A and B are shown apart, each in its own frame.
Chain A
Amino acid sequence: MADLSIEFAGIKSPNPFWLASAPPTDKAYNVERAFEAGWGGVVWKTLGEDPAAVNVSSRYSALYDHNGDVSGFNNIELITDRSLEINLQEITMVKKKWPDRAMIVSLMMPCEEEIWKDILEKVEKTGADGIELNFGCPHGMPERGMGAAVGQVPEYVEMVTRWCKTYSSLPVIVKLTPNITDIRFAARAAKKGGADAVSLINTINSITGIDLDQMAARPIVDGKSTHGGYCGPAVKPIALNMVAEIARDPETTGLPISGIGGIGNWHDAAEFMALGSGCVQVCTAAMIYGFDIVKEMKIGLSNWMDTKGYKKITDFQGMAVPNTTDWKYLNMNYKVIAEIDQDKCIGCGRCYSSCEDTSHQAIELTSLADGTNSFEVIDDECVGCNLCEITCPVDNCITMVKQPAEQPYMNWTEDPRNPHREVS
């Protein structure tokens, strides 16, 4: 059986599944329940200066899929609303009771060196394994000069990271906000400041929907609302891209990454790891389904690793990074064509309407004598875009078939059709 244990930025954990800093890690009661369920570690909900933050009533909203399951989740909750002292006491107690689990403390303080020095000393005394800097919270806190307000300015990221490395011996993980134009700048700044790792993504500025009766965005607080932070399965593609950007950036190569964003099962976790993540953090899935989901995540990842022959996480970590490149390096001479398996086709015609209306008119409809239709790909018209394969509701009915290569590999920089090609 595969070994799921990891050492991430010097922090040991029995498995790579951590709970992200959020409501599930708000207090000892929740965190102990999580450890009982089998989570490898937690990032304790962000601590701040006293007096503690005060929250509003009505805090979450969601985007639902076809079946009514949550695909995107939005919150306007602030950092911990309990006193620093209680949090520190509970962290100390829980870590003592669960020594094998990773205990990371998330912090958010005003940008003053003395304040950081003071809190870092207190955190170190709890016995925690590391700290995570919350530079990402997109709602509420930035209005007070913290959270994303820091994360959006690389110079601030670097400065605060350096203070933390100066006044603490604990590994420092910098949590990055996705509410920027290029994630690499913040990651580079964290690295320059001495960060041991980055974690990403924090939540994305969002409005999940409008209540058309009240004419207000959800969640509604007495008829008014504010943008929140978006997470859940819908943000996974954005998170994966940002993880990949950092993993393949020469300036941050090798910087440990804790992947966050829409992870709900082992498959999602493996994808983040394939793009270089050394561990993953989960929140929305636990908030929707409860802590027990970690059971299937662990078993699933382990079983998959066994079938692939991977003994430990590092055996496949980052394997998809070299295959993630710039568009200009893709092979212009590679060609795939859609093929419809007539035995599997149920005749819904979705491939036809999508190709005919919105793509390349590469599917031919033939009306049969019995009143049904049959669909065939017109090979010469097919550009291999995958749209028909995507819209087809039947598994493996439409497949993209690789065509024999007529020419060797040639990318856009070498392509004679490129007016700006690099002449060799």
Chain B
Amino acid sequence: MVTNTEKATSYSQQQLALDQMFKDINPALSARQAGIESSRCYYCYDAPCIKACPSKINIPSFIASIHSDDLTGAARTIYQENIMGGSCARVCPTEILCEQACVRNKEEEKAPVKIGLLQRHATDNATFEGHPFERAASTGKKVAVVGAGPAGLSCAHRLALLGNDVEVFEAESKAGGLNEYGIAKYKLTENFAQKEVDFILSIGGITLHTDTALGKDITLEQLKNDFDAVFLSIGLQDTQSLRLDNEDNADVINSVEYIKELRQATDLEQLSIPKDSAVVIGAGNTAIDIACQLKRLGTEEVTLVYRRGEEQMSATKHEQQIAKDHQVRIKTWSRPEQIHTDENGKLTGMSFRKTYLENGKLEDKAEQFDIDCSAIFKAVGQKLNYPEAEQLIPTISNGKIATFHNQLTSIDGVFAGGDCTGVGQDLTVEAVQQGKLAALAIQQQLNSSEVK
């Protein structure tokens, strides 16, 4: 990806050393590999991979373009539906999306086309003169986007493309959301998240305000007054609790926060790394991410503990394999019971109770066991913490912002998408799609209000 505003980044020796520990887990294809791989696509009719892609990328078309040496055409096809095609190519669980749907799984070869890697090949190597798309003539409309994660950036880009002026408000000091702060370091390397942000903003018409938080620096009420529409993509702010004593111990760590620190670190010295043993509680991709990253940072023993079995883990089989490849020990059917500290309040370990399923209900066994550890990493899910200071709050349902038809919230003119809403599995690609759909819905609403 070539952007106009690509910032020159000079790396320190420490940064280089750190990057060395977090090399790309899934290296890019060579041109030759991409040529061979692209020839494997059958160019299906009504292709199952497109149906399986949350952002509806025309996959056979971009692969055919790769095969005919038109990487720019391939990348444009990808960006048409998904402006974050570069990061999605790296972080999408393709094994449960497009690649799972690939018809080549069903034939004797039993190997899907490597769609994710081909998408990366196209987006990494395409060359555009400036931005790939040209903005439509100005509509004179202004839209506010709250949160510069994948949903917000996708929405802002689509709105700008359609000729609107967009202002994006981001609570953190950098845009990118979880791509910048939350994705495992070995999945998005070499400052990719920021390069992608620059690329997206290079379309023009988008003003980014960082360090500007909803409920603190801006209010929804005010945005509603100042803009023609508002899109909320504020993500999830809090971690679920284990509901155990001593959970407030300094060495019981929120995984998301730790990954954030790790991703922003420029030197190993800035991190507190458990030396001998760490326990990770959880079964999702964040749990896998933190466990593997701890191994790469040098923690001797990392044990991932989950109260149910491998089958029930929300981390995909592919992710579980990554953990095994990193020599992470996975203990299933074990429920956290106690957090142990010594007389000085220092964390010493954790007790677990063995569990089993009976009639769909998780039951305790008599058996217990302890794991000694100097840190516990919680990765048991995130939750929404809507800014308390806000007066105007959209309807929250099941702990998330409720959306109705076309990403509209309960408030007229206020749309929402991404992890803060209750649709989907909180995947990056779903956030991008929700941002895109919201932008189209906003555009439709702005057009119809014009007619009136």
Contact = CB atoms under 8 A, between A and B. Distances in A.
A348 B36 contact: no
Nearest to A392: B42
A349 B107 contact: no
Given A66-B67, A348-B42, A353-B45, 20 more contacts: A67-B39, A68-B32, A68-B35, A346-B104, A346-B107, A347-B106, A348-B44, A348-B45, A349-B44, A349-B47, A350-B44, A350-B45, A365-B46, A371-B48, A372-B48, A373-B45, A373-B46, A393-B42, A393-B107, A394-B107
Nearest to A373: B46
Contacts of B39: 66-67
Query: Interface extent on B, as a size class?
Result: 10 to 19
Contacts of B369: none
B43 interface: yes
Nearest to A356: B45
A352 interface: yes
A68 B48 contact: no
A353 B43 CA distance: 10
Most chain-B Cβ atoms within 10 A of its Cβ — which of A347, A350, A371?
A347
Interface residues of A, number: 16
B51 interface: yes
B63 to A, nearest CB: 12
A346 B103 contact: yes
B48 A350 contact: no
A68 B42 contact: no
Contacts of A348: 42, 44-45, 103
A356 to B, nearest CB: 8
Contacts of A350: 42-45
A348 B39 CA distance: 15
A347 B103 contact: yes
B41 to A, nearest CB: 10
Contacts of B46: 349, 365, 373
Interface in A90-107: none
Most chain-A Cβ atoms within 10 A of its Cβ — which of B32, B36, B67, B103?
B103
Nearest to B32: A68
A68 B215 CA distance: 59
Contacts of B104: 346
Interface of A: 66-68, 346-350, 352-353, 365, 371-373, 393-394
A298 B144 CA distance: 74
Contacts of B67: 66
Interface string B95-106: 000000001101
16 contacts: A67-B36, A68-B32, A68-B36, A346-B103, A346-B106, A347-B44, A347-B48, A347-B103, A348-B44, A350-B42, A350-B45, A352-B45, A365-B46, A371-B48, A372-B48, A373-B46
Interface in B50-94: 51, 67
The 4 A-B residue pairs with the shortest CB-CB distance, nearest first, are A349-B45, A346-B106, A66-B39, A353-B45
A62 to B, nearest CB: 15
A394 B108 CA distance: 9
A363 to B, nearest CB: 10
A365 B46 CA distance: 10
A160 to B, nearest CB: 47
A352 B44 CA distance: 10
Interface in B275-290: none
Contacts of B44: 347-350
Nearest to B43: A350
Contacts of B42: 348, 350, 393
Nearest to A351: B45
Most chain-A Cβ atoms within 10 A of its Cβ — which of B32, B44, B45, B46?
B45
Nearest to A391: B42
Nearest to B51: A371
A353 B60 CA distance: 14
Nearest to B35: A68
A155 B353 CA distance: 99
Nearest to B104: A346
A357 to B, nearest CB: 9
Contacts of A365: 46
A67 B103 CA distance: 20
B71 to A, nearest CB: 16
A378 to B, nearest CB: 16
A68 to B, nearest CB: 6
Contacts of A353: 45
Nearest to A395: B108
Contacts of A373: 45-46
A373 B103 CA distance: 11
A372 B52 CA distance: 10
Contacts of A394: 107
Nearest to B44: A348
B147 to A, nearest CB: 31
A372 B45 CA distance: 11
A348 B51 CA distance: 13
A146 B36 CA distance: 43
A397 B220 CA distance: 59
B204 to A, nearest CB: 32
A201 to B, nearest CB: 29
Interface string B29-41: 0001001100100
Contacts of A66: 39, 67
Most chain-A Cβ atoms within 10 A of its Cβ — which of B32, B35, B44?
B44
A109 B104 CA distance: 56
